[in-house]
């Protein structure tokens, strides 16, 4: 067991951040071009690190168990709290739906199951732990995260690639903004800040170490994965896995194990987050909150939200962008920021707000016949 609380906190953050969003990245690097992809990955990593540092500062002086919804209500008012609540709930529900689509793709790729049967089985397997009491085990998360990072390194070293960089265009102007939502989806990890603080305990000085190491290590792994699988896939598909079935069986199998681990380790905590949000935000009884958390993501997929890439783009570009605006503005009020810090927070808030507006328009326009 690690005894360095800073590394445990960094592992907690990395474990929450490193997830199934990674499987959209090779396609994004190809579709948008290498330069936009790298710029968005680096820029959003820096923005997320800064937002997480501020959020850590806010939570550090608060009672354990304080939630973003409560902070938004206290510092931003009831209206902003409602927007934050809706963004959090819908973001988690669409994320779980995207995970179900991706998990079913993995399952159907290695079995003779139909897509619907694979979806039903995967949903049942992921939902079964909800029937039991669950407590977050950070040391286990740290171990799983280390294994997943090691598997990414294994792919980078063993997957054959030819002319890695020349297989990517520099810029594809038609898709130049496409990476924003999915990359933010892949990098978001604010829900890990409170357990990361718990890992540090009363010791101070670990904030930048934990957040910097946790986020940067994941961003580097994402870049390596995107370049490697973007070069090796034939063709590059939005979920990655469909385009790498020509690779040796052990590599495909290891990739699927990695993907399933990333999904399963995220699926249960997110379900618990939905239950907690409904009970705190609306005062729903446990049974009603449990039913919504259990069935709504699956019903959403059945209703037609079955595109992995579109789901992560919607979640990142709209719902997570809104959540980060709330985090930044809560920090501005709670910490009484002034000068350069206030300017930085306002600029980042404006960026995330514009991104949310853009993505809402992007998804609404086709429905209105405006595309």
- The residue ranking higher by pLDDT, 69 or 179, is 179
Q: How far apart are CA 322 and CA 170, in angstroms?
A: 30
Quick one: pLDDT at residue 363? 85
- Tokens 């950070």 correspond to what residue? 138
Res 146 pLDDT > 50: yes
Q: 194 pLDDT band (50/70/90 cuts)?
A: confident
Quick one: pLDDT at residue 165? 60
Quick one: pLDDT at residue 356? 95
**For the residues 160-187, what does the mean pLDDT come to?**
84
- The residue ranking higher by pLDDT, 56 or 153, is 56
Res 132 pLDDT > 50: yes
**For the residues 323-348, what does the mean pLDDT come to?**
93
Quick one: pLDDT at residue 1? 46
Domains in the chain (CATH in brackets) are: 5-99+132-270+305-367 (1.20.1740.10)
Quick one: pLDDT at residue 103? 85
pLDDT digit string, tens, across residues 17-32: 888 889 999 999 999 9
**For the residues 288-316, what does the mean pLDDT come to?**
86
- The residue ranking higher by pLDDT, 112 or 320, is 320
Res 241 pLDDT > 50: yes
* Lowest mean pLDDT segment, chosen from 39-53, 179-193, 230-244: 230-244
Contacts 24+ apart (CB under 8 A), 334-337: 334/58, 334/71, 334/75, 335/54, 335/57, 335/58
Res 368 pLDDT > 80: no
Mean pLDDT, the chain, as a whole number?
82
Contacts 24+ apart (CB under 8 A), 298-302: 298/97, 298/100, 298/119, 298/123, 300/93, 300/94, 300/97, 301/97, 301/100, 301/101, 301/119
pLDDT digit string, tens, across residues 94-131: 888 888 888 888 888 777 788 788 888 888 887 776 66
Is there a contact between 326 and 84 (Cβ–Cβ < 8 Å)? yes
Quick count: other Cβ atoms within 10 Å of Cβ 309? 20
What percent of the chain has pLDDT above 90? 27
Res 134 pLDDT > 60: no
Res 65 pLDDT > 90: no
- The residue ranking higher by pLDDT, 86 or 5, is 86
**For the residues 76-93, what does the mean pLDDT come to?**
88
**For the residues 157-161, what does the mean pLDDT come to?**
72
């Amino acid at each position: 067991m690690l005894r360095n609380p800073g590394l445990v906190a960094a592992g907690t953050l990395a474990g929450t951040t490193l997830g199934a969003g990674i499987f959209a990245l090779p396609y994004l690097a190809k579709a948008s071009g290498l330069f936009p992809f790298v710029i968005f990955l680096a820029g959003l990593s820096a923005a997320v690190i800064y937002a997480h540092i501020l959020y850590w500062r806010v939570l550090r002086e608060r009672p354990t168990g304080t939630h973003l919804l409560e902070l938004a209500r206290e510092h931003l008012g009831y209206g902003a709290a409602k927007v934050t609540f809706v963004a959090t709930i819908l973001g988690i529900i669409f994320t779980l739906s995207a995970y179900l689509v991706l998990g079913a793709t993995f399952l159907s790729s290695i079995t003779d199951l139909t897509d619907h049967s694979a979806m039903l089985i995967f949903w049942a397997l992921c939902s079964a732990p909800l029937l039991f009491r669950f407590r977050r085990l950070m040391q286990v998360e740290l171990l799983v995260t280390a294994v997943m990072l090691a598997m990414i390194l294994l792919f980078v070293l063993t997957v054959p690639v030819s002319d890695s960089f020349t297989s990517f265009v520099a810029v594809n102007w038609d898709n130049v903004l496409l990476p924003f939502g999915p990359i933010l989806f892949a990098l978001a990890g604010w829900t890990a800040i409170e357990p990361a603080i718990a890992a540090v305990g009363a010791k101070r000085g670990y904030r930048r170490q934990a957040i910097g190491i946790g986020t940067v290590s994941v961003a580097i792994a994402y870049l390596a994965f995107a370049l490697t699988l973007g070069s090796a896939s034939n063709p590059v598909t939005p979920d990655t896995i469909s385009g790498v079935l020509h690779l040796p069986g052990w590599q495909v199998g290891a990739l699927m194990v990695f993907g399933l681990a990333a999904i399963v380790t995220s699926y249960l905590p997110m379900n618990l987050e939905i239950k907690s949000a409904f009970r705190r935000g609306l005062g729903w009884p446990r049974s009603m909150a449990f039913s919504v958390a259990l069935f709504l993501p699956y019903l959403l997929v059945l209703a037609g939200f079955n595109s992995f890439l579109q789901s992560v783009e919607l979640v990142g570009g709209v719902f997570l962008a809104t959540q980060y605006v709330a985090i930044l503005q809560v920090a501005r009020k709670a910490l009484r920021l002034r000068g350069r810090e206030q300017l930085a927070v306002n600029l980042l808030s404006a960026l995330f707000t514009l991104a949310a507006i853009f993505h809402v328009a992007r998804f609404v326009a086709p429905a209105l016949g405006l595309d």
